[in-house]
């Protein structure tokens, strides 16, 4: 019998993560159907799943579509009312599902929910990818409750609430399937990084809400596919962030902000070059050319309605790095 929730884990050559964390997902997800969407892995992930997890359904993509496209392709085969998109490097806990489902069931205007996301390696601290719910500043820089840029807070119960946020983390992302498909899913051109922020922004522009619940926790390893210091990660984050702003910002704010970000990203590129080496400087340059190359297609995806009050903080980058947090 089909259950309301489908837990969907995207996999690409992640047999080690499946072996480590899938047993816990099976143990603590009795009220969900579990799927692994495989992005044409070349390791023995499929054989491992077939041998050890007969109750887990396998969906095989015909190529590696990345995070965004991989989920778009795989979720077409999943008919459940709710999805939970779960990274393969996440350790779930008992009762990790129920609080998110309760919010979705209680309020039809809520489209997506994330739980508290803590660090797997430093378990008393929040984790980079989501922490206690995502927000964004007026320059388009994403940050989280519990995490601003690279500064992570210790979990002392300060975010045990349930509250509206701007974006929910893709590492543990509960969403109504109906709302996911009404927005045509993730923007597959993003490949990976910030696709969930873009989707949440589109949902908010359509009148929906995104929520955080501190009543459930998961532990995220992070960097399972792309290391935090990867130049590819730098490229994807900057290019996708610019595309996201072009798609979702009101026109008057868009013009000055893109120009201003060009200047800021130039400074950031020099900083990255000194700190991490030339590949990161070049990644910033490539990101801007990649963004300009996608301009016509991205412009066509702009929605009719953009909200002016999308941010909860102004000039975060200046206040943070000048010590005024």
pLDDT by residue for the chain (325 residues), tens only, comes to 789 999 999 999 999 999 999 999 999 999 999 999 999 999 999 999 999 999 999 999 999 999 999 999 999 999 999 999 999 999 999 999 999 999 999 999 999 999 999 999 999 999 999 999 999 988 888 999 999 878 899 999 999 999 999 999 999 999 999 999 999 999 999 999 999 999 999 999 999 999 999 999 999 998 755 556 789 999 999 999 999 999 998 888 888 888 888 888 888 888 888 888 899 999 999 999 999 999 899 998 887 666 666 665 554 555 545 555 5
For the chain, what's the residue count? 325
CA gap 290, 3 in Å, rounded: 41
Delimit the domains of the chain by residue range: 5-220, 231-321
CA gap 137, 276 in Å, rounded: 25
CATH topology of domain 5-220: Spore Coat Polysaccharide Biosynthesis Protein SpsA; Chain A (3.90.550)
pTM of the model: 0.91
Task: Identify the bridge partners of residue 163 per DSSP, sorted by sequence position.
Answer: 212
CA gap 196, 51 in Å, rounded: 32
Q: Could you tell me if 237 and 197 are in contact, meaning their C-beta atoms sit under 8 angstroms apart?
A: no
CA gap 196, 263 in Å, rounded: 26
CA gap 262, 240 in Å, rounded: 14
Nearest residue to 117 (alpha-carbon basis) of 137, 140, 87: 87
As a 3-state breakdown, the chain gives helix, strand, coil percent values, each rounded to 5, of 40, 20, 35
Q: Is the dihedral of CA 268, 270, 271, 277 positive or negative?
A: positive
- Beta carbons within 8 Å of 151's beta carbon, 6+ residues apart: 320, 325
């Amino acid at each position: 019998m089909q259950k309301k929730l489908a837990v969907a884990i995207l996999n690409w050559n992640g047999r080690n993560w499946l072996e480590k964390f899938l047993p816990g997902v099976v143990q603590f997800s009795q009220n969900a159907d579990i799927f692994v969407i495989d992005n044409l892995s070349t390791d023995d992930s499929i054989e491992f799943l077939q041998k050890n997890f007969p109750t887990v359904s396998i969906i095989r993509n015909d190529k590696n579509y990345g995070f965004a496209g991989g989920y778009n392709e795989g979720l077409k085969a999943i008919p459940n009312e709710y999805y939970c998109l779960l990274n393969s490097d996440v350790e779930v806990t008992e009762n990790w599902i129920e609080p998110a489902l309760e919010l979705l069931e209680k309020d039809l205007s809520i489209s997506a929910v994330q739980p508290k996301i803590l660090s797997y390696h430093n378990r008393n601290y929040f984790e980079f990818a989501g922490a206690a719910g995502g927000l964004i500043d007026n320059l388009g820089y994403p940050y989280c409750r519990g995490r601003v840029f690279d500064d992570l807070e210790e979990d002392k119960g300060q975010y045990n609430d349930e509250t509206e946020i701007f974006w929910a983390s893709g590492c543990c992302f509960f969403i109504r399937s109906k709302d996911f498909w009404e927005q045509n899913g993730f923007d597959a051109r993003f490949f990976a990084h910030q696709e969930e922020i873009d989707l949440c922004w589109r949902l908010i522009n359509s009148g929906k809400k995104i929520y955080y619940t501190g009543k459930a926790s998961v532990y995220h390893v992070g960097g399972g596919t792309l290391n935090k210091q990867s130049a590819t990660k730098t490229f994807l984050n900057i290019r996708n962030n610019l595309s996201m702003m072009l798609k979702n910002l009101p026109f008057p704010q868009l013009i000055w902000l893109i120009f201003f970000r060009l200047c800021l990203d130039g400074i950031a590129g020099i900083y990255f070059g000194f700190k991490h080496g030339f590949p990161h400087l070049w990644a910033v340059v490539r990101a801007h050319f990649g963004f300009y190359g996608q301009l016509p297609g991205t412009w066509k995806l702009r929605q009719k309605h953009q909200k002016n009050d999308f941010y909860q903080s102004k000039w975060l980058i200046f206040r943070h790095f000048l010590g005024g947090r």
